[in-house]
């Protein structure tokens, strides 16, 4: 499955749970997460990767900065991982 298809499934899942998601268009600052969302009033950033791939050092740095600012940030390889991360964060 391509990263784009995974992103579409994650966006659909986020909409289904009442979140406000936005896919970030390439061309923005390097390393910015693929999907930004508001989930139950919290800022959430998701770096989407195909299974077997991991975030770059720059992507990890952005995710860490978001966490330090009080947001929820993580790498996901599918909608199930997003669900798990949001449950772990107490957002769903």
Count Cβ atoms within 10 A of the Cβ of residue 59 and give its class: 0-12 exposed, 13-18 middle, 19 or more buried: buried
Region of residue 15 (left: phi > 0; alpha: psi -120 to 50; beta: else)? alpha
CATH of the domain at 33: 3.40.1350.10
Residue 15 vs residue 1, higher pLDDT: 15
Count of domains observed in the chain = 1
Structure tokens at 64: 């860490």
Residue numbers of the domain that contains 61: 3-88
25-79 tens-digit pLDDT: 866 688 999 999 999 999 999 999 999 999 999 999 999 999 999 999 999 999 9
């Amino acid at each position: 499955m391509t990263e784009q298809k995974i992103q579409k499934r994650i966006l659909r899942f986020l909409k289904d749970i009442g979140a406000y998601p936005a896919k970030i268009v390439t061309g923005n600052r390097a390393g910015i997460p693929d999907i930004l969302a508001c989930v139950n009033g919290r800022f959430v950033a998701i770096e989407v990767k195909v299974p077997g791939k991991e975030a770059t050092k720059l992507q990890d740095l952005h995710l860490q900065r978001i966490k330090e600012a009080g947001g929820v940030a993580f790498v996901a390889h599918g909608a199930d991982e997003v669900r798990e991360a949001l449950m772990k964060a107490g957002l769903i």
